[in-house]
Structure 1
């Protein structure tokens, strides 16, 4: 473990180079992460009991969870006509999670929805482990521990326990970025391709690998594997998008499918208008909160740049943030769409690592409590569409 933690005012002493020491044990970080998840679930189930609701249904069979199950049950042939006449297709949902749900259901008594919850639970732990490895490789064990804790205690962290694809995608992305740091190009390419089969933002993982490979080209001793990783990285996302294009009879068929759902990339115009409408209405406080959240995201990204995060992390995180904030889809989904952008949390992890233990652990406990209460409140209300 390094004896010096990077200052919040400047880059770390090792720049973006991986540490040469053996990796730290993730046991403490994973135990802390599981404890935070247990608290969130306990509050959710208690809230549901008091509200006479089924907490497990909230985790397994609402919103996107239902659409993944429809892919398992109907293949990519299910459509739903919205009240305004739009035809919503399940081809908007990438296939890796429903494939895993179908496979697990085939070999266990679990139904697809139950399998989705189990996959998400396991994937969330794998994601926490991967985040720990990524941060420890550059900033050390203590910073990695607190970064994992913050990721597990995000206000919308209850999504990590739902039959959604965020946990699976973050796990694949984090481990792909770690293998990039270790210059294991072939494995990184495979993981990036799987991330691309999970969510369209998987191309952010491929882009991160490409940038790292370009920077490592001159010093690489195994350029064949490097090239293989570069070629493999985008195949998952590109392959699915092209398949949808073939099914719809249009090269840009996937964009048409997303457009029917109201999703598209407009550079953030719709989101800015949404914030502005709140700022100049009785919902001024909500608009101010949204504006503050966007500023915070931007500030954290700039801190990451100034602290010398590896280029692969900056590229990955930047693309995830841009796609989340600059899309025209349902604005309530943006917090969960930002969840895979875990490098944003590294400056906070570093700050807690440099803080007195009592203060740092008080912050973690407070964040976990807020996540538990807000997660239960959120799922019993509008939820994370």
Structure 2
């Protein structure tokens, strides 16, 4: 079968899991392959795969918040202050909840939350792609997301999987007219990562567009077959509460007002400069031949991301997906620090992968399986190498 299936409006709840089962089973297989590769590579290097997944880099910061609360900071010799206030609270809250209920360690609780969230994210990506392009494209979208070179992060005690799950299901709720659900999930996404603003922007643009459509048809009537205006308005109000609440709380705690969170990020030398620092970082790579190859690779990578986004626009992706992917991409590429983290920061931008999913969905099943299988093996090997080396900062 080479033709794409006709998208369905909303699968019946009883059959939703059955419909998503091929995507979820394929996702689980890819993640299992990655974990096996990590375990073997780590054992060969006398390292603990468990430690790499649960107790390094950001995972350690989240665990400390879960166990000790906010207030921990590290003062560096150059005067920089790394405060755990930079880390949004939903993941550590869930880690503390799981620890309390199961008595797992905070680190293992984080790993469990991330594992469950990654499956929820895969299901959400399937739901969005299935709704827009059909089941085959939905399955391929999940598998493409799973085999990304930095896909191993989906199995770490990081917040990317949790955020992607909340974002994907919020976007699906927007696409299917469930505005209160969309607003609540957007609010929770805003409690997970600063990039939660992308989900809020997508919901707001969709709602404003729908209101504009209402005014053209009939100012006093709701959209035919859609939600009443008050539900859309309430969804808009709910969406930013999570992020706004935490940012305002940080400002109060630091005594620096509404912009206090920006000062916290400045202590990590992180901010938004429109991509100037990243451009300088890429330009500096061309000072010698070996590093110039890395510079060329970075330019090609950015060009690929831009091409994928343009393709999304040309293929007529729904406006909420375009807004969401655009904001996530802009925030990732235009951050002024942690250049090695950019591939990880782009992980939630799953709508960028839909053109690739569509191309795979048009192939025969045997061919798409061969392509995805080969990439999955390469991704597993790269993920194991990456975490045993520099890893995701």
* TM-score higher than 0.5: yes
For residue 230 of structure 2, what is the aligned residue in structure 1?
224
For residue 354 of structure 1, what is the aligned residue in structure 2?
362
For residue 40 of structure 1, what is the aligned residue in structure 2?
34
Secondary structure, counterpart of 1:231 in structure 2: helix
For residue 116 of structure 1, what is the aligned residue in structure 2?
110
For residue 220 of structure 2, what is the aligned residue in structure 1?
none
For residue 236 of structure 1, what is the aligned residue in structure 2?
242
> 1:123-138 to 2 correspondence within 5 Å?
123-138=117-132
For residue 257 of structure 1, what is the aligned residue in structure 2?
264
Alignment RMSD:
1.7
Q: CA deviation at 1:105?
A: 0.5
For residue 247 of structure 1, what is the aligned residue in structure 2?
253
Q: Does 1:363 align with 2:353?
A: no
TM normalised by structure 1 equals: 0.94
Q: In structure 2, do the counterparts of structure 1 residues 109 and 21 end up closer, same or farther at CA, with 3 Å as the change threshold?
A: closer
Alignment partners' CA distance in 2, 1:184 and 1:311: 16
Alignment partners' CA distance in 2, 1:147 and 1:329: 30
Task: Structure 2: state its 5+ residue gaps.
Answer: 215-222
Alignment partners' CA distance in 2, 1:367 and 1:120: 23
Alignment partners' CA distance in 2, 1:47 and 1:118: 22
Q: Does 1:80 align with 2:63?
A: no
Match of 1:383 among 357, 372, 391: 391
Q: CA deviation at 1:279?
A: 2.7
> 1:148-297 to 2 correspondence within 5 Å?
148-217=142-211, 218=214, 219=223, 220-250=226-256, 251-282=258-289, 283-297=291-305
> Which deviates further from its counterpart, 160-169 or 221-230?
221-230
Q: CA deviation at 1:195?
A: 0.2
Alignment partners' CA distance in 1, 2:138 and 2:288: 41
Alignment partners' CA distance in 2, 1:194 and 1:363: 36
Secondary structure, counterpart of 1:80 in structure 2: strand
Task: Structure 1: state its 5+ residue gaps.
Answer: 7-12
Secondary structure, counterpart of 2:19 in structure 1: coil
Q: CA deviation at 1:221?
A: 4.3
For residue 315 of structure 2, what is the aligned residue in structure 1?
307
Q: Deviations over 1:279-301 (max 9, x none)?
A: 34231111111110000000000
Q: Deviations over 1:136-189 (max 9, x none)?
A: 001001111111001001000000010000000000000000011111000100
Alignment partners' CA distance in 1, 2:174 and 2:297: 36
For residue 326 of structure 1, what is the aligned residue in structure 2?
334
Alignment partners' CA distance in 2, 1:381 and 1:73: 28
Question: Contact 2:3–2:362 (CA<8 Å) still a contact in 1?
Answer: no
Q: CA deviation at 1:249?
A: 1.4
For residue 345 of structure 1, what is the aligned residue in structure 2?
353
Alignment partners' CA distance in 1, 2:10 and 2:107: 43
> Which deviates further from its counterpart, 240-249 or 76-85?
76-85
Higher helix share: 2
Q: In structure 2, do the counterparts of structure 1 residues 356 and 222 end up closer, same or farther at CA, with 3 Å as the change threshold?
A: same
Q: CA deviation at 1:70?
A: 1.3
Alignment partners' CA distance in 1, 2:255 and 2:11: 53
Q: Deviations over 1:94-119 (max 9, x none)?
A: 00000000111011120111100000
TM normalised by structure 2 equals: 0.92
Q: CA deviation at 1:367?
A: 1.3
For residue 217 of structure 2, what is the aligned residue in structure 1?
none
Q: CA deviation at 1:46?
A: 0.6
